[in-house]
Amino acid sequence: MTYKAPIKDMLFNLQHLADLEQVAQLPGFEDAGLETAQAVLEECAKLNEDVIAPLNWEGDKYPSSFHDGKVTTTPGFKQAFKQYAEGGWQGLQHPTDFGGQGLPKTIGAACGEILNSANLSFALCPLLTDGAIEALLTAGTDEQKALYLPKMISGQWTGTMNLTEPQAGSDLSLVRTRAEPLPDGTYKIFGTKIYITYGEHDMAENIVHLVLARVSGAPEGVKGISLFIVPKFMVQADGSIGARNDVHCVSIEHKMGIKASPTAVLQYGDHGGAIGYLVGQENRGLEYMFIMMNAARYAVGVQGIAVAERAYQKAVQYARDRVQSRPVDGSLNTAAPIIHHPDVKRMLMTMRALTEGCRAMASIAASAFDAAHNHPDAETRQQNQAFYEFMVPLVKGYSTEMSLEVTSLGVQVHGGMGFIEETGAAQYYRDAKILTIYEGTTAIQANDLVGRKTARDGGQGAKALSQQIETTEADLAVSGSAHALAMLKRLKAAREAFISSVDFIAGQAKSDPNAIYAGSVNYLMLAGNLMAGWQMARALLVAERELAAGNDTAFMQAKITTARFYADHILTRVPGLRDAIVEGAPGVTEMALESF
């Protein structure tokens, strides 16, 4: 099954929801309007559809392998990565000062979706490199930036993030990797890191590991963690590669999905100590690593949208081809393709509406990121930053949970054939599962949303968002069409359920934290559903206007129908989630531990 990038839907979002023309008014983005976006997306689609997508199934059958300390990636990956790097794709949204193309995240995120749809395992290498680049741009010295960034941005070198250890998963206060200062200002690093994505591979000349470690004598807990650059090969002052550093891959994991992506166990300092270079100041490592994690969290949300899109396309193709039973309405008197059956349509529409809703939500979040970093007005930057920060756990948490539902439905559409590996439907389901786990599980995203993004300011930021949604409700009322009024009814009910949940969280945050955290994932799912639904409501209004003007009638009609489906079948889940959040804590918290 071939993959086709959904460029038309992406451009619709960029133009009408993310307001790319406004982004193109920002300093530094003057050349990044719609015309540029279309050209970039079409070029991106070409490489991914022709070169990278065909390797996806190959990677599942012939995963990366480990032998004598070396990792060999899936046949074809190395050549594809070379083409990816030579095309300048790694540097798409990184600064021109270091050889990047300096495009806004609004365009970069759409390209990220295309890459991840084509091949989730392959895309993880550039994704982690992007995060490492972000961290160095923020906290690296001028010398470090000059030494590492041009080669990372060109794709000659790749990057990793090394947080997790056998005893320190989500709780980074337990990190034990140690760093011993040397007289020349460098450090020797000793320890074991696990789950290191592309921690060892054969696609690039060098790998720049960013490693969390404790300097001897540092405070206990998260306050005593520092961040270090530990390159696989030492880098000379002129940028050339020198001797091998004392960091070695000792094994790679055997995984349920993303099998072509080598997940390495790295050992630092077995032969006297790996040389590391401090990034920023001692004991501020976690702060810098959060920059990587926030970039990666958004990117993982995009991975969820990407794998959902791929599963949807495959399911539609199968539903068109698979002949089974006569249509229930008697419109054909012979067996017909299953796409005629109402329940198959329901499954396909669920897949489509969830994917499009999350894509739109991610698109407006990227636009806010661009304004937060590039707008000349400080207050506008601050407002956009607050909006983006609220959206990150939703893009990550809701989009990845959504991808599990969509890829599971993809298997279901295939029926018994979906359970057979050869059809390929199961690969998307298996690949999607990790997305709800790595870069912070859904519960961790939900805790962030409850604690940092809702309770901390007494729900004020959440209520400001609610006011923006009310504006869209007013526009739906003005439209007055049957679809707009149906959307209005559902959106209003969902927004009111959101406000009720926000009030509960803000009111109970100090007095009964167990009650609010018992409902935290439900709150994340409610908020994500609402924000995606809000974007579908905005899309519906745009599509109605475009349809009235006679523009691209088939696409606009489909957009209206998809938005209507989202309203009636997906936004309707929200009031039930509110009830679970506000009234459901006793059922979670009161069971005696010994009764489990």
The catalytic residues are 439
Residue 323 CB neighbour total at 10 angstroms: 11
Contact 303, 402 (CB under 8 A): no
Q: Which of 228, 342, 341, 236 is nearest to 279 (CA)?
A: 228
40-44, Cβ contacts within 8 angstroms, sequence gap of 24 or more: 40/92, 40/103, 40/107, 40/111, 41/5, 41/7, 41/10, 41/11, 41/107, 41/110, 41/111, 41/114, 42/7, 43/87, 44/5, 44/89, 44/111, 44/114, 44/115
Q: How far is CA 453 from its chain centroid?
A: 19
Alpha carbon distance 400, 434 (integer Å)? 9
Alpha carbon distance 553, 264 (integer Å)? 50
Residue 78 CB neighbour total at 10 angstroms: 14
| CA angle, residues 324, 329, 332, in degrees to nearest 5 | 55
Contact 198, 125 (CB under 8 A): yes
Q: State the Cα torsion 344-347-349-352 to the nearest 10°.
A: -130
Q: Give SS3 for 251.
A: strand
Q: How far is CA 221 from its chain centroid?
A: 28
Contact 396, 362 (CB under 8 A): no
Alpha carbon distance 287, 298 (integer Å)? 17
DSSP label at residue 267: E
Residue 270 CB neighbour total at 10 angstroms: 13
Q: Which of 116, 89, 115 is nearest to 103 (CA)?
A: 89
Contact 524, 501 (CB under 8 A): no
Contact 426, 259 (CB under 8 A): no
- Tell me the two tokens of residue 155: 């794709």
135 torsion bin: left (phi>0), alpha (psi -120 to 50), beta (else):
alpha
Strands 178-181 and 241-244: unpaired
Crossing angle, helix 105-118 and helix 285-321, to 10 degrees?
Answer: 50
Q: Which of 502, 559, 504 is nearest to 535 (CA)?
A: 559
Contact 90, 99 (CB under 8 A): no
Contact 77, 55 (CB under 8 A): yes
Q: Tokens 């009235």 map to which residue?
A: 548
Contact 445, 399 (CB under 8 A): no
Contact 177, 189 (CB under 8 A): yes
Q: How far is CA 456 from its chain centroid?
A: 25
Q: Give SS3 for 27.
A: coil
DSSP label at residue 284: -
